[in-house]
Chains A and B, each alone.
Chain A
Amino acid sequence: MAAIEWTLNGRPVSVSGVSPTMTLLEYLRGPHGATGTKEGCAEGDCGACTVAIVDPDAPQGPTFRAVNSCLVLLPMVHGKVVYSVEGIADGAPHPVQDSLVEKLGSQCGYCTPGVIMSMFEACYRKDLDEPWKLDDQMCGNLCRCTGYRPIREATEAIASLAPSDRFSAALAAAEKKRGVASYEEGDQRYFAPATLDELFDVLDANPERDIVCGGTDLSLRVTKRFERLPTVVSLEGVHGLRGVERQNGVWRIGATTPLADLEDAARDGLEPIERILRFFGARQIKNRGTVGGNLCNASPIGDLAPVLLALDAQVGLCSREGRRTLPLAEFFLRYRKTALAPNEILEAVLVPAIEDDARVGAYKVSKRQELDISAVALGAWVRLDDQQNVAAVRLGFGGMAATPARAAKTEAALVGQPWTEATVDAAVAHLDDDFSPIDDHRGSAWYRRTVAKNLVRGFYFETLSDSRPRLVHRPAATVVL
């Protein structure tokens, strides 16, 4: 395809002659000359570059998604409808703009365009029905001036307002368009196959390539390390990879399911997954980042892995040769290395339904609760027998080793023991044998070891009264006691 064709602020745009790894932010501020959208960090951690993209495939129907334009590669917007801060006033300011201005939610104004676009998503969301969702909606927009109170109040005032305007009309008219099949410029190429067969054709033909979906990780290689990626293959348009469904006692989570979708789907039945997603990343990241991406980068601090390890998840892998499943624990081979064969992709994550008598929890500790990377994360699952002894237990940890990993010795020390404070306290000493965590800027080895033990203890105490404890609004800590 010769050009990337999309709609920006209600007008058609056709772009060619730019690198396929140019970001949407670079395009907006550079060739397009629309400088309202700001760059604050180029890594999806500040939200100043937030724009709204219509997601026509959302489970709840077409919806606006606030996304970090610094992490969106331009071919990803082919066929999409995008709004930036310049495009939402209709003669008069949009209600979100009036709301923020009236509350003095801007001081220096540099985070403001991003704040506005996160509020814009909030304005058209229909599910901002709990107070924590407001924090979650806005936590990806750092503001250094206001202290947030006016931003929060301004957002509260417009949340789910969904006025009957051209934006609601744009949602109603949203079409499920196929993405760009391929785009190239110079020696760089971008492929967006629509089926698995097409995908495998592309993978066969391009052995040296990077696979992307939401771009929240891969794009950092472009924006922070300034790598020139010769060939990028997107899974975003591949049919059948997105969605969460429960069949025959197993949850199938498609690899390209955005974390925001998973958070919604996990609410009833996969409570520990919902819980870990609360403080997983900003709304903008959850709107683009995917389940598969979080697992396939095999980071020791990927936050889905610990809870999926605890839930005994399997990964469904797929190649032209066929399909296979692996226990997630066997998927992580070593630091940032997975068991994926060449030209094999992660198709889905399979999670057994949580047994009625299981106790489950998920915890994450970081310097800041919102929008931070964990120092330690724990997913925990335990079943007791009739005598209240531990029949089986799984403790999945992140941040404690080179890959997310189970605490085998600690688990072994618990099995068969009575589920009491004394046995838990005794068993967690084995965590020192299971793991030798490192010192880094997120925490010392001492802190990681100590917190790891306390998280298991916290899990014990939490599940005394509730087998699937949820997070409250604004918890002081990841363990809610």
Chain B
Amino acid sequence: MTDAKSPLHRPSIHESGHRHANGAAIYVDDIPPPAGMLVGMVVPSPVARGTLRSIDLDDARAIAGVHAIITASDIPGVNDIAPFTHDEPLLASTDVYCVGQAVALVVAESYAKCREAAAAIEVVIEPLEAVLELRDAIERDAFITKPHEMRRGDVKAALAAAPVVIEGEIDTGGQDHFYLESHVSLVIPEEHDTYKVYASTQHPAEVQAKVAEVLGLARHHVVVETARMGGGFGGKETQGAHFAALAALGARATGRPVKVWLNRDQDMTQTGKRHPFHSKYRAGFSEEGDLLALEVYAYSDGGWSADLSQAILDRCLFHLDNSYYVPALFFSGRVARTNKPSNTAFRGFGGPQGMAVIEEVINRASERLGLDPAEVRRRNYYGAAPRNRTPYDQEVTECRLERIHDKLLADARYAERRRDIARFNESSRFVKRGIGYQPVKFGISFTNAMLNQAGALILIYADGSVQVNHGGTEMGQGLHTKMIAVAAHELGVKPERIRLMNTATDKVPNTSATAASSGSDLNGAAVKQACERLRSRLAVVAARLIGCSQHEPVRFEDGIVSAAGREVPFEQVVARAYVDQVSLSATGYYRTPGIEYDAAAGKGKPFHYFAYGGAVVEVEVSGLTGEHKVRRVDILHDVGDSLVPSIDRGQIEGGFIQGLGWLTCEELVWSPAGELRTHSPDTYKIPAMSEAPLAFDVQLLEGAPQSGVIHGSKAVGEPPFMLAIGAVTALRHAIGAFGAREVELAIPCTPEAILRAVVHVSQTTEAVERESVLI
């Protein structure tokens, strides 16, 4: 599979690595201010729910240096910024629905002037009762969506017949994206009512569409360009559009370039996060640990508008099975409405929230039955028919769960370490260790079938240098590095002859978001097709140059074009192609075949394929403080034939640690009035250096090409995030060693949550009530 001189399937540095490291990489806020540039600042709602009675702008407008203040009535086009549902006004017009919702945009010569003006604006809002808790919203029947259901067999009967029934509730919390680069857009008005938008977005085409709609223009008036993001993680899939559209409104109102940049506190208080979920479950098991039936009601906190909540809820349901065959099941999911910022995409997109449920079920069942949770997991993997149908009736093909399980548990010496841990725990009073194995099966594709398309545009210049454009965006995941490898491989040129261009809507139109882990699958295939078109044209030219038959196979490799034992430099072929009046640009296009899903029936094939992985996680817990440390992580992940293995390793490690953050230290705390209290890294704690264990071994599954995907590779962006759920299993194992009672561990597993769990397992109920908590 590996060509001697191709960059494909070989480790590589990040294509922007050196520019990251010397400060030359340009992000939107680094673009030198164009002449006359103004800055815009959102005036946010201070209340969670209310009716907008009046906005007095006179004092603010009188401030020197304030150039425009824009409210809903100033919007020339449509006051809507929702991606699909048309339920999200860009600027509040009659009502406000959350703290932080945009009420107005101030445009001034400096942020200081913006703040001064914002303080001078008098917004009168008549407060209404707000719903701030997910459970309250469920009780009050406040929902954004209709239930989405999946069923198989007679789950009630199966539960009634099951020897062991595990019943309970589980909550998983929100998570701030904490991309290091906050939201930012710069809009430059150009001639004839056209606009150039520089945006930090995963979805330039949607930014283009929303800017055009808000301005009341056709989309061809707007060009959006994205060089790179300083992190996205889903947070810039839909919600970058807001700030681009606001900047565009400011640019239109003033005729000057306008930048809207959010500082950290603004970013965290004004934008949506990972959806918190509340789920109720009942599961039936055999005494041996076979999962017989599962009933789940999953509710997500959508915040005040729909955003992508339906699709995120859907993906939760699609991953309630994770890696396990469920013979009888009923799943129901619904998005609740609260007066919080509208929650949005975040790596995993509901998948982690769904998997957290089934993994809790399996952990509890294993603990109840006194079985090794890894063994219970293995018993329940998908397998041969009929155990190969997902809850939505997609066939599980090329399943690698057992292969990963067996290899990783052997390599990581799981069984031996579990025995060692048992001995350690017997002799250690205040510190206990635990180990957990986490398998992951994650569906790859946008579940909204139409989004599974991508385009590319490749330009070869007469000197043989190449520009590659594609519809995907670079947010650090290494997509551009992979696309350079694909293009260099296909054209047979050295990677340094290729320049990967900024993503721009005037190069490739109507693109999908770079999301759903699909970036390199979709765009890679489009790049490949464009290269193939160019190569076939150049092959004709090369044959002529070499003087061989047109039927002779022509090879393109490492800057050399060869046929019939003779070779010419690529540059010479290109120069000749120009002279011969052969077109040196081509588009490429790809759509994923066969994706369909019937939501009403709860059946279909929403995924092109599944990505697999496994992790063994070992932790140590203090029973005195509830603090813990991850001691060791071993991961074996299936990325097919990796396009660029060094990039994929980075995605696996980074995804795992981000998942660990969600499950352990990251906690969003809100005031009773609906204000986010943890709105900066002072109070919101993402993992730091020593959360990453010193023993952190990551292996890619070898000899595992994926059929039907570019060069046998597989998507990698999201699946590793969920491997971190193994830390919860390990923590439960350690906590269980403190006592005899059932483990009740809340997520995120903060020191406080862990200490509560330790106290709970080690004390009598009476003692806990007395708060006599010495273990």
Contacts and interface: CB of A to CB of B under 8 A. Distances in A.
B264 A474 contact: no
Interface string B426-441: 0011110000000000
Interface in B649-695: 649-650, 653-658, 665, 667, 669, 677-678, 680-683, 685-692, 694
Interface stretch (B188-196, B248-256, B597-605, B621-629): B621-629
Given A46-B681, A145-B476, A479-B430, A108 B228 contact: yes
Contacts of A365: 625, 627, 751
A357 interface: no
B650 A146 contact: yes
Contact of A152 (B178, B428, B677, B689): B689
A441 B755 CA distance: 16
Contacts of B658: 144, 147
Given A226-B112, A453-B774, A85 B23 contact: yes
Interface in B629-651: 629, 631, 646-647, 649-650
Interface string A110-128: 1111001000000000000
A48 B17 contact: no
A139 B752 contact: no
B620 interface: yes
A34 interface: yes
B594 to A, nearest CB: 32
Given A145-B476, A148-B657, A135 B689 contact: yes
A457 interface: yes
B265 interface: yes
A317 interface: no
B579 interface: no
Interface in B697-720: none
Categorize the interface residue count of chain B: 35 or more
Contacts of B759: 450
Contacts of B13: 101-102, 104
A142 interface: yes
A359 to B, nearest CB: 17
B742 interface: no
A481 B32 contact: no
A299 to B, nearest CB: 13
A474 B629 CA distance: 8
Nearest to B627: A477
Interface in A219-246: 224, 226
Interface string A50-84: 00000000000000000000000000000000001
Contacts of B647: 104
A147 B658 CA distance: 7
Contact of B228 (A109, A449, A477): A109
A186 interface: no
B22 A149 contact: no
A16 interface: no
Nearest to A19: B112
Contacts of B18: 93, 97, 101
Nearest to B23: A36
B21 to A, nearest CB: 4
A43 B680 contact: yes
B22 A89 contact: yes
Given A142-B688, A478-B625, A108 B179 contact: yes
Nearest to B619: A476
Contacts of A453: 773-774
B24 interface: yes
A414 interface: no
A438 to B, nearest CB: 13
Interface string B747-760: 00011100110010
A451 B690 contact: no
Given A145-B476, A148-B691, A372-B685, A38 B230 contact: yes
A108 B647 CA distance: 12
Contact of B21 (A116, A441, A446, A450): A116
A110 B689 contact: no
Grouping DSSP codes into helix (H, G, I), strand (E, B) and loop, the B interface class, with mixed when no group exceeds half, is loop
A106 B228 CA distance: 13
B525 to A, nearest CB: 23
A455 B687 CA distance: 24
A45 B681 contact: yes
A106 to B, nearest CB: 4
Contacts of B750: 367
B774 A109 contact: no
A148 B691 CA distance: 9
A441 B680 CA distance: 12
B35 to A, nearest CB: 14
Contacts of A224: 265, 680
B231 A144 contact: yes
Contact of A142 (B620, B655, B681): B681
B544 interface: no
Given A97-B18, A450-B773, A34 B654 contact: no
Interface string A430-455: 00000000000111101101110111
A425 interface: yes
B478 interface: yes
A479 B429 CA distance: 13
A102 B650 CA distance: 12
Contacts of A375: 751-752
B774 A457 contact: yes
B109 interface: no
B25 A109 contact: yes
B367 interface: no
Interface residues of A, number: 86
A280 B112 CA distance: 33
A4 interface: no
A29 B184 CA distance: 15
Report which residue of B18, B756, B759 has the largest number of chain A beta carbons within 10 angstroms of its beta carbon. Answer: B18
Given A35-B23, A109-B476, A457-B624, A147 B654 contact: yes
Given A84-B23, A108-B476, A481-B431, A142 B690 contact: no
B681 A110 contact: no
B775 to A, nearest CB: 8
Nearest to B18: A101
A41 B681 contact: yes
Contacts of B687: 147-148, 368
B115 A475 contact: no
B532 interface: no
A133 to B, nearest CB: 12
Contacts of B264: 40-43, 46
A167 interface: no
B580 interface: no
Given A34-B23, A425-B774, A444 B681 contact: no
Interface string B454-473: 00000000000000000000
A110 B231 contact: yes
A458 B620 CA distance: 16
Contacts of A106: 14, 16-17, 20-21, 476
B29 interface: yes
A86 interface: yes
A262 interface: no
18 contacts: A41-B681, A43-B680, A43-B681, A85-B21, A139-B688, A139-B689, A145-B476, A148-B687, A150-B653, A369-B688, A425-B774, A428-B774, A443-B752, A447-B626, A453-B774, A476-B628, A477-B629, A478-B622
Report the 8 A-B pairs with minimum CB-CB distance, sorted nearest first: A36-B23, A108-B476, A110-B230, A109-B20, A477-B622, A147-B657, A107-B476, A45-B681
Given A45-B680, A111-B230, A461-B430, 17 more contacts: A88-B22, A97-B18, A104-B14, A106-B20, A107-B14, A108-B229, A109-B17, A144-B233, A146-B650, A226-B115, A365-B627, A367-B750, A368-B685, A375-B751, A441-B678, A478-B625, A481-B622
Interface of A: 29, 33-43, 45-46, 48, 84-86, 88-89, 93, 97, 100-102, 104, 106-113, 116, 135, 138-139, 141-152, 224, 226, 365-373, 375, 425, 428, 441-444, 446-447, 449-451, 453-455, 457-458, 461, 474-479, 481
